[in-house]
Amino acid sequence: MDLSTILKPEAVKVVSAASSKKRLLHAIGELAESAYGLDTTRVVEALLERENLGPTGVGHGVALPHARLDGIETVVGAFILLEKPVDFNSVDRQPVDIAFALFAPNEAGVEHLKALALVSRTLRETSVCAKLRANQDAQTLYSILTEAQNVQAA
Q: What is the predicted pLDDT for the residue at 107?
A: 85
Segments forming the whole domain that contains residue 140 = 3-153
Q: Bin 68: left if φ > 0, else alpha if -120 < ψ < 50, else beta.
A: beta
Whether the per-residue pLDDT at 100 is higher than 80: the answer is yes
pLDDT computed for residue 9 by the predictor: 97
Predicted pLDDT of residue 154:
41
DSSP string, 24-65: HHHHHHHHHHHHH---HHHHHHHHHHHHHHS--EEETTEE--
In the chain, the number of structural domains is: 1
Q: What CATH number does residue 52 fall under?
A: 3.40.930.10
Q: Give me the catalytic one of 26, 60, 66, 112.
A: 66
66 is known as an active-site residue: yes
Q: Give the pLDDT of residue 153.
A: 46
For 102-136, write each residue's pLDDT tens digit: 999 988 778 888 999 999 999 999 999 999 999 99
pTM assigned to the model: 0.94
What does residue 8 show for φ and ψ, rounded to 5 degrees? -85, 150
Between the alpha carbon of residue 89 and those of residues 52, 79, 140, the distances in Å are 11, 19, 28
